[in-house]
Amino acid sequence: MTAIDAIYELGISHNKFSLPLPDGTFYPDYFFSSDKRPLEFLKSFDRIRDGDWSDCTFSDLGCSEGSTTFGISQMGSTVYGVEGRADGVERAKVLQQIIGFERTHFSVGNVDHEESYRQVDAIFNAGVLYHLEDPVTCLERCAENARLFIYLDTGHAPGSQQEREGSKFASNFGRVHTVKRHGLELEAVDFAEPSTTAEKKGGVRRGPRAGIGNTNSVWLSHASTVELMKVLGFPYHETVGEQPHIPRLRTCFWRTEPKAPSPLGTLLKPLPAEAPPEAAIAAARTRDLAYLKRTGAPVIVIGHEPLLAAVAEDLRKGGANIDAVIKAPGNLGDKLPLRGLDKMLDGRSGRVAVATRDVARASFNLMKLDRFGYVFTSFALARERELA
Ligand SMILES: C[S@@+](CC[C@H](N)C(=O)[O-])C[C@H]1O[C@@H](n2cnc3c(N)ncnc32)[C@H](O)[C@@H]1O
């Protein structure tokens, strides 16, 4: 067994961003580019950096499976990833064994708790603030713990009725209210998280990218966030990116006036190079097949014709141990929905190879069923291109 084989034992990824691995694949292997926000973070931090990169320290809050944490580790600094869901941290630790980065550390921690914070030079706060009921306390703790810089990527309360109605999350928004702290009246809106706080109910896992233990989170308006950060000691800010359909913004906050931006230069400890999608799919397929053949692990094949027959044939010819071939109703191009998968897979568990067009969605749904060890997507991705 190689270090990379450990990913087959880790359950199904819930990450939306991919990490390039040294064998030319990605993890998860159906997304073909890595997250660009870590470079934005490093470049923006560099504008206030006052020491060698090797002496710098960062925290990544709500770090999921660590791909962003590795991204911000690419200058050789010491980086701490904190994540509330233990399976994300387990996966991050296995990925670390594969790619190195011995100065990157992961721990399970809830960002609602004081002990999840530590003194660092800068904090990467992405995709997590808008899952909290008390975002103000999180920002206070960030300001207390970040010596120089905070990168905030989060959803904000819509600035107008039109923006609210046009949001992708229009149906999640609730009461508009103000949060009174630090002598400020901060504009906020309630946001509906999943309606039950349980991490698993009826055999289905709560979305592992959602908040933890809350049915409501609070989104601050961007103007109020800027106002608050000023009071908390971060008076300089720049918005470096936005997704107006949410609305979600990426904002950099500096404690003192930053220098003008300049190119970051060579990464001192770069991630593995990203292979082009075709090559990455071929590499993943080769590795997947070798693993299945070597271990004899049974695999269930499920999906739509004609991809189903093609994937099953490839697995059979490659020497994999096929447990069952399950034909889903509908046509190639249809989804493999969560309830449909649950029914078709009828209490089975183990490893699954999907033969469908939207492998990312199928993989996410199988992950939510929370009883499958791994989902193989490379066979469908390789064959689908031929059949398209
Ligand atoms: C939308 S994902 C964002 C992941 C990553 N930071 C990114 O930007 O791609 C939210 C992550 O925050 C984690 N999370 C949610 N609430 C948390 C909390 N209170 N404490 C720690 N982690 C939390 C989730 O488990 C999930 O991994």
Residue 285, beta-bridge partner list? none
**Structural domains of the chain, ranges and CATH numbers in brackets:** 35-254 (3.40.50.150), 277-387 (3.40.50)
Do 191 and 219 meet the contact criterion of CB atoms below 8 Å apart? yes
User: To test ligand 1's pocket by mutation, which of 61, 72, 128 has the most ligand atoms within 8 angstroms of CB?
Assistant: 128
> Is the pLDDT confidence value at 388 over 70?
no
Tell me how far apart the alpha carbons of residues 23 and 272 are, in angstroms, rounded to a whole number.
9
84-101 pLDDT, tens digit each: 999 999 999 999 999 999
Coil/strand/helix, residue 261: coil
Question: Where do we find the tokens 């493999």?
Answer: 336
- What is the average per-residue pLDDT within 161-188? 97
Q: Residue 110 — φ and ψ, nearest 5°?
A: -95, 125
pTM score, whole prediction? 0.96
Is ligand 1 within 6 A of the CB of residue 84?
Answer: yes
CA atoms within 13 A on the CB side of 283: 20
Is ligand 1 within 6 A of the CB of residue 131?
Answer: yes
| Protein residue closest via CA to atom 2 of ligand 1 | 209
Is ligand 1 within 6 A of the CB of residue 28?
Answer: no
> Is the pLDDT confidence value at 373 over 80?
yes
- Residue 2 confidence class, pLDDT cut points 50, 70, 90: confident
101-125 pLDDT, tens digit each: 999 999 999 999 999 999 999 999 9
37-89 pLDDT, tens digit each: 999 999 999 999 999 999 999 999 999 999 999 999 999 999 999 999 999 99
> Is the pLDDT confidence value at 1 over 90?
no
